[in-house]
């Protein structure tokens, strides 16, 4: 039988933290707890600015002997079409630099789509099949694009899409230009897990920080489920935790309610 607490929980667990550091600690704790509970978890990993903090936290936990990736498998969400894994701006390079080279992850079980595969469509289908063959994602980590994308599922992506090639929007290319020497170098296409692929994960943890994400966070959580805001599809998932800082939570209409259901630990203990 359900406990009274679980009866009153919203479908999405919304955790609002005072600072990015506290939010990052919360997300890293969720990942470490999952790995400690199930060392051979299949992780779904993301890249981007938000994730850098999470990976730095996980590296510190690993160095302190508090988490191991030795038995885990990982599948990254996406990769730019045309970039070899050795390219400085590829997501494989990002993952090595920000996480893999600093923890005990087995490189043979750390998967990303191959951006420079001879046929990107074949590669996308192969990647989707590899995820399914691994039993699908256990814990999927997500960031949130300013336009509501998750992975590179840009607005109007099918909510049941599988891994495939997507054309990046101008807004995404502009947001990611900071990682490239010349904005013109940002690839126009990416291979990305689909929204359907993501929704098959057992558990999803999405992080969003900063005032510039406040509107899209509100659309994701409180707006209609619509392809115009791909992250809103997470409303259909049975186990999603959304980890926010104050600024990213500032446009939520039901914010008081979320804080009532899940009081902040830093508040509860003060």
Binding site for ligand F6R (CB under 6 A): 46-50, 77-78, 143-145, 149-151
- Smallest distance, ligand F6R to C-beta of residue 209, A: 8
CA distance 49 to 249: 18
Of 77 and 186, the one with the shorter C-beta distance to ligand F6R is 77
Task: Based on the residue annotation, tell me whether 17 is a catalytic residue of this protein.
Answer: no
End-to-end CA gap in the chain: 33
Please pick, among 154, 203, 245, 246, the residue that the annotation labels catalytic.
154
User: Is 76 annotated as catalytic?
Assistant: no
Q: Minimum distance from CB of 7 to ligand F6R (Å)? A: 33
Between 20 and 34, name the residue whose CB sits nearer to ligand F6R.
20
In the bound complex, what is the minimum distance in angstroms from residue 270's beta carbon to ligand F6R? 29
Pick between residue 78 and residue 123 the one whose CB is nearest to ligand F6R: 78
* Set 17, 62, 149, 237: catalytic member: 149
Q: Locate 215 and state its tokens.
A: 């509107």
Shortest distance, position 71 Cβ to ligand F6R, whole Å: 24
* Active-site residue, 267 included: no
Is the CB of 50 or the CB of 197 nearer to ligand F6R? 50
Q: Distance of CA 63 to CAs 67, 197, 244, 259, Å?
A: 8, 32, 26, 33
Of 37 and 178, the one with the shorter C-beta distance to ligand F6R is 178
- Which residue in the list 76, 147, 153, 176 is annotated as catalytic? 147
Residue nearest to ligand F6R (CB): 143
Give the C-alpha separation, 252 to 28, whole Å: 24
The nearest distance, CB 256 to ligand F6R, in angstroms, is 26
Specify whether 36 is catalytic: no
Catalytic residues: 78, 147, 149, 154
């Amino acid at each position: 039988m359900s406990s009274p607490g679980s009866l009153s929980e919203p479908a999405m667990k919304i955790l609002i933290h005072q600072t990015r550091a506290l939010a990052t600690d919360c997300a890293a704790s969720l990942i470490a707890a999952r790995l400690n509970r199930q060392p051979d978890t299949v992780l779904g990993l993301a890249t981007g600015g938000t994730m850098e903090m999470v990976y730095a936290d996980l590296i510190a936990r690993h160095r302190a002997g508090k988490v191991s990736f030795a038995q885990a498998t990982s599948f990254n969400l996406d990769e730019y079409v045309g970039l070899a894994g050795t390219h400085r701006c590829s997501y494989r390079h990002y993952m090595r630099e920000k996480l893999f080279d600093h923890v005990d992850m087995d490189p043979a079980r750390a998967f990303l789509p191959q951006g420079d595969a001879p046929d990107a469509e074949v590669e996308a289908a192969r990647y989707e099949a590899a995820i399914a063959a691994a039993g699908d994602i256990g814990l999927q980590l997500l960031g949130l694009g300013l336009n509501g994308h998750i992975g590179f599922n840009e607005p109007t992506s099918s909510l049941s899409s599988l891994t495939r090639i997507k054309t990046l929007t101008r807004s995404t290319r502009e947001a990611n230009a900071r990682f490239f020497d010349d904005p013109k170098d940002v690839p126009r296409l990416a291979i990305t897990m689909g929204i359907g692929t993501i929704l098959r994960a057992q558990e999803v943890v999405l992080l969003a920080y900063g005032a510039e994400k406040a509107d899209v966070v509100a659309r994701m959580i409180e707006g209609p489920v619509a392809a115009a805001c791909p992250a809103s599809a997470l409303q259909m998932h049975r186990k999603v935790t959304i980890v926010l800082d104050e600024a990213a939570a500032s446009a939520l209409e039901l914010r008081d309610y979320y804080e009532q259901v899940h009081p902040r630990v830093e508040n509860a203990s003060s």
